[in-house]
Chain A
Amino acid sequence: MILPYILRRLAFLPLTLLLVALATFVVLRLTGNPVDIFLDINRTPEQVEALTRRLHLDLPIPAQFLIFLGDLLHGDFGESLQFSGSAAEVVWQRAGATLQLAGTALGLAVLLGVSGGIVCAVWRDRAADAVISSIAVAGQSMPSFWLGMLLIEFFALQLRWLPTSGYGDLKHLVLPAFTLAAILLPNFVLITRTSILELMGEQFVVTGRSKGMSRGRVLLTHILPNAVNPVLSFLGIQIGTLMAGSIITETIYAWPGVGRLLINSIFHRDVPVVEAAIFFIATSIALANLAVDVLQMLIDPRIRRA
């Protein structure tokens, strides 16, 4: 039941990626001639010609797109203009750092967000709820570059517990991961809280309590499994937000990931790398969404049947 579904979804993946490729291709060519932007102001005509030919810019646009698609089928985005090496390789080198950061941030956001939401719901309208909910609302409205600076100021400059920036061991990961997690965390708190509170009024919960089940057991066996789905749906939608947030977070903390690479490559109009990076991000989002859907099916039989 699930396997055919996964295969069906995977079959649509190339279509999604084709659309992404088309959009990227068009936008990059609409915003100016990459040769003009990439080459130094002191360029010679020979250099312009060599690069124009290398990027196939001397051909009509449809032909350029076909060549681009043909190369794409071989996983070939072309040679990076600014880096030595293939664009795919350049992006792949940075992919680990981004996945590490985004994965940790997502884990933190879910773990802290869901626990916070449970606390809020269980102790509804008590001190804990008030404190956590207010922090969540405040956090929701805090831009990450500002939060990042505050965290650096406090943990790296005042307390000196953590390094200000950079990539390396676990202590380098703490601040960026938390900053990125903070984009989603408040929402996880609020969604978990709301969905638990809604479920608390449901008949099966009342039945469970009246059979003599303890509050804790009802929460664990009846409420939580049902509360997971809204959280997962939200998570699926927000993977894109997380990737977008990683661009800012990576810049603040000098994290060598794909987000910063992308921005840098856009500024230099390193067309092959921009295309490869967007492709990587699009694929990650598509696969993450698929994973979320499959998880939901595993958890909720109703979705499986539908």
Chain B
Amino acid sequence: MYRRSFSALSALLAPLLVIGTPALAADKVLTIGAAVFPDTLKPGIGSFASQSLLVQTNEQLVQRDNKGDLQPTLATSWELIDPLTMRFHLRQGVKFTDGVEFTSEDVVYTIKYVQDPQTAYGAAARISQVESATAVDKYTVEIKTKAAFPTLLRGMAEILILPKHYAEKVGTAGLAAKPMGTGPFVFQEWVPGDHYTLTANKSYWGGAPKVDKVVIRTIPDGSTRVAALVSGEAQIIEEVPIDLIDQVEASGISKIDSIATSVGLVLTFDPTIKPFDNAKVREAFDYAIDKPLILKQILKGKGEVLDGQVLTKSALGYNPDLKARPYDPAKAKQMLVEAGYDFNTPVPILTQNGKYVSDTDICQAIAGMLTKIGVKATVNAVEGGTFQTMANGLKMGPLHMIGWYSLGDADFATVWYTKAGHRTLWYSEDYEKMFTAARSTNDEKERVRIYHEMGALAYKESPSLFLFGLPSLYGVNKDLKGFGAAADKVLRLTKVELK
């Protein structure tokens, strides 16, 4: 009896003895604190979070860099051979980490996989116009589209190339259980809800990574994430809460690395509710919001004030001639009076809580500014599911706040102002026509010209008030080199070096 309890006790205490044993010094382990952890490793399912993990092992034909520009990856070059056909020349001599060579067969297989509705591939809509993919030879693939499809390349940047031989052998479940590809890292272990471990792919075509091992840990709570960074447990953390920026910088061992994302945060009207059918009323609201002040006070100067359009500065189609309307509450009030605005109209501002950086705080500030000129504004913060239900039914009340990703191309963000997007009740025939025109040509100059015009129209009509380009904020250990904050929040780790 005593012996038994003694051995039970020692079994309990044994791990205590291990405490403090240093990890093998030879291994350079990079630990990352992730804010959002994917729920599955099934390729194409889930959000950017799973993309961020999977892109370590599997690559695309073309990849965005941290700024959002496209870079040749598994394809070295491409050309349009006719308006409906794009020819990709693949990188030669690239091997999957099991030693099998990467060829055009893998690309063709992947496109078929993405197009299968049973796959429920999240980014399938990004290449919705693709008709088929055919292998011309071992290193050449042609992708045919149903119509001119100017965003094909951007769309392909979402598609991770799967190894055909492996996928056919292990199936979808096998792929999700043990991803394998051509990427800079090799999958080692995934513990759902806890961590994801990778080892360096020493024979990576782009040069072996400079760390031996990467551990991506999920730390959902913002302040715990900062604590992990400040204590040195993690060298990189995602999504530093705005109010903890100072703590990160004051720690002495870490700093903030930030970049503007392509998310445009906007306040959208329901023009079917009176008096918001009146463009003058919508414009007046724009003058009532002190955007630079909110940027400075709530967003701590990170990010940008949108220039009177949904697109951030780096997106294709951004209109440099537009500027945000200045803060002028007197003018706002006067315009409302002139438009015969009834100041007793209740204006609840609908927002999700915790979806975007400081979302509820921003809405509170805006409600306060609107109240100042006599508008009866309140904030209605709801849970994501509720918001989604209201959004799908297009019943979001007079004003709601939402962020639209452009991922670098105006097409992705402007679609939400068209009927097909089914996200805004504002309707303009001219806007619809221009949107379709821009989508149907491969002539980039022409597209940009059209997007400029669409931007100007939306500025005049104000279906939304364009607020902020949101920042992506990372906390990074000062001893770390070669890491950069990414506009699309995808971790790029090939150049990261630990001191």
Residues of A within 8 A of B (CB): 31-33, 36-37, 39-44, 46-47, 49-51, 80, 82-85, 90, 93-94, 148-149, 152-153, 156-157, 160, 163-167, 169-171, 251-254, 256-257, 260-261, 264, 266-270
Contact = CB atoms under 8 A, between A and B. Distances in A.
B19 A251 contact: no
B496 interface: no
B41 A84 contact: yes
A170 B9 CA distance: 13
Interface in B108-135: 117-118, 120, 122-126, 128
Interface stretch (B95-103, B227-235, B438-446): B227-235
6 contacts: A31-B386, A33-B392, A40-B122, A42-B124, A83-B40, A157-B230
A260 B39 CA distance: 12
A164 to B, nearest CB: 4
Contacts of A44: 117, 124-125, 128
Interface in B1-40: 12, 15-16, 18-19, 39-40
B154 interface: no
B2 to A, nearest CB: 20
B221 A252 contact: yes
B479 interface: no
A164 B31 CA distance: 13
A44 B114 CA distance: 12
Of the four ranges (under 10, 10 to 19, 20 to 34, 35 or more), the interface on chain B belongs to 35 or more
Contacts of B123: 42
Interface of B: 12, 15-16, 18-19, 39-42, 45-47, 117-118, 120, 122-126, 128, 172-173, 176-177, 191-195, 217-221, 223-224, 227-228, 230-231, 233, 383-386, 388-389, 392, 423
Contact of A152 (B46, B192, B224): B224
Contacts of A33: 389, 392
Contacts of B42: 84
Nearest to B123: A42
A40, A167, A269, A270 pick with most chain B CB within 10 angstroms = A40
A79 B12 CA distance: 36
B95 to A, nearest CB: 26
A51 B120 contact: yes
A84 B50 CA distance: 13
A261 B124 CA distance: 27
Contacts of A166: 194-195, 217, 219, 233
A42 B158 CA distance: 13
A157 B383 CA distance: 33
Contacts of A42: 122-126
Contact of A43 (B40, B125, B193): B125
B69 to A, nearest CB: 22
Contacts of A93: 192
Nearest to A260: B193
B15, B16, B231 pick with most chain A CB within 10 angstroms = B231
Nearest to A153: B227
A84 to B, nearest CB: 4
Contact of A164 (B39, B122, B231): B231
A31 B224 contact: no
Contacts of A264: 39, 193
A148 B224 CA distance: 9
B120 A254 contact: no
Contact of B224 (A90, A169, A252, A256): A252
B193 A256 contact: yes
B219 A165 contact: yes
Given A46-B117, A84-B172, A267-B385, 15 more contacts: A31-B385, A31-B386, A32-B388, A33-B389, A42-B122, A42-B125, A42-B126, A44-B128, A51-B120, A82-B40, A83-B39, A148-B224, A251-B221, A252-B221, A266-B385
Contacts of B39: 80, 82-83, 264, 268, 270
B202 to A, nearest CB: 27
